[in-house]
Amino acid sequence: MTEQNQPPLPQEILRLAELPKGAERSFEIVPETAVLRTIARELDISGLRKLRFEGKLLPEGKRDWRIEAKLGATVTQPCVVTLEPVTTRIDAPILRRYLSEMRDPDLEEVEMPEDDLSEPLPATLDLIEVMIEALALHLPLYPRADGQEPAQIEAIPPGAEPISEEAVKPFAGLAGLRDKLGNADSGEGEK
């Protein structure tokens, strides 16, 4: 299947203003195999199977909403050391808040809020987008095959000695200097 012929992602779009006030809405999203391949390509991972996103959209106050859900997925990514396929199981609780009084910052530089679970209340909420974002945030950044330690890389000119950890410590040379000064003060350095 070519990029142009890949199936579109399904949409589970909720118009929040049209939902009954005070009523929760349960959801369960289990994409089909073709959609899993599309999501895997979108996230640039080798494979995706057993994706499930289930939970509730709950009213919070008069106009705000909250998602409480569970994300489950099995993903395959290349090992960062050997490029072997690494399979990871993800089981994560998901919490998002959509607040009517929260404004999108329109300044060039904005300090990140400590509450990274809250977003401005949208007119429509696409649960598929929420699921894909949650999956992207829970993917291992540096997957490693079993038994693989982080790669150690040294870049030194030919014939040069590698720099030791002791040499790069800021006070490593002071002990030697102290010893030399101590010897000079005691007269041991003079003959």
Exposed/middle/buried for residue 6 (C-beta within 10 Å: 0-12, 13-18, 19+): middle
Confidence at residue 36, expressed as pLDDT on a 0 to 100 scale: 94
Six-digit token string for 55: 């939970």
pLDDT at 8 over 60: no
Lowest mean pLDDT among 8-12, 48-52, 180-184: 8-12
Which position has the higher pLDDT, 187 or 23? 23
Which position has the higher pLDDT, 7 or 61? 61
pLDDT at 191 over 80: no
The whole-number average pLDDT for the span 70-96 is 93
Confidence at residue 38, expressed as pLDDT on a 0 to 100 scale: 93
The whole-number average pLDDT for the span 173-181 is 75
Confidence at residue 133, expressed as pLDDT on a 0 to 100 scale: 94
Which position has the higher pLDDT, 151 or 165? 165
In whole angstroms, give the CA distance from residue 1 to residue 38: 10
Res. 17 pLDDT band, cuts 50 70 90: low
Determine what percent of the chain falls in helix, strand and coil, rounding each to the nearest 5.
Answer: 25, 30, 45
Confidence at residue 2, expressed as pLDDT on a 0 to 100 scale: 42
Domain coordinates in residue numbering, the chain: 3-138
Confidence at residue 31, expressed as pLDDT on a 0 to 100 scale: 93
